[in-house]
Amino acid sequence: MKNALHPNGEPLYASKAVEAEVLFVDLDETFLDGTVTSLSDEELLTCPLICETLDLIHQAKAMGIPVVLVTRNNEEGIERFFRTRPQLRDLFDELIACETGGKSDPIKTYMESRRIDPQKALFLDDTLGERDEVKMNAKGVQAFNPDNVRQLNLKRVPVEEAEDVQNTTRGKLLKRFKETPYPEERKQIKIILQSRFHMEAYEINLAA
């Protein structure tokens, strides 16, 4: 059965699994303009646009996929929002405030610093123009309207097996510990550094 279409031509839902190394979330129109703060806790979890976004974020968090908030709001505005809805703060692994310019530049910077394949990056935004800007300037990134993701199933990109990590030098392990976006992989690498190289946790954090 073909996907139904939104009036703007975008599919109303996706039915296939999508590999992801990072999930970028913007949602200025819903998360940060006061819409969310006007809802009760119950309404927050049942509002279609927001709850489907939250479902996808929780799906990413459960698989260790970093969730990054990218917004035109300044840091003061973001903090003011989180003081109003503190239960949402822990959903995001990182906050990027880009008060001017498009979202594509900070997204590209994030991916390049962590060596993430753009085709394994998802961008969730409720503004068509911003989705188009990211798709045009951050080639490969998949951009979705949040109300079109109800059947989008994330699939974590496979990482190297533990046996391969065991044969890696301490220097390479520390480099991977610093660069990997996956909390579970960091935990695995830390265990190996502590067991094989007898490093203390603070030494690992300092070296990385």
Q: pLDDT for 110-145, tens place per residue?
A: 898 888 889 999 999 888 899 999 999 999 999 988
- Which amino acid appears at position 98 of this protein? C
pLDDT of residue 131: 92
CA angle in degrees (0–180, nearest 5) for 162-167-169:
115
Compute and round to an integer the Cα radius of gyration of the chain: 19
Please report which helix (H) or strand (E) contains residue 97, including its range: strand 94-97
- Which amino acid appears at position 81 of this protein? F
Instruction: Name residue, tokens 């990211």.
Output: 134
Q: pLDDT for 61-90, tens place per residue?
A: 888 888 999 988 777 778 877 887 787 888
What token pair was written down for 46?
């049942």
pLDDT of residue 89: 83
- The pTM is what? 0.68
First to last CA, the chain: 49
Q: Which residues contact 190 (CB under 8 A, 6 or more apart)?
A: 177, 201, 204
pLDDT of residue 165: 55
Assign 13 a pLDDT band (cuts: 50, 70, 90). very low
Domains of the chain: 17-156 (3.40.50.1000), 162-207 (no CATH)
Helix 104-113 with 128-137: angle, nearest 10 deg = 50
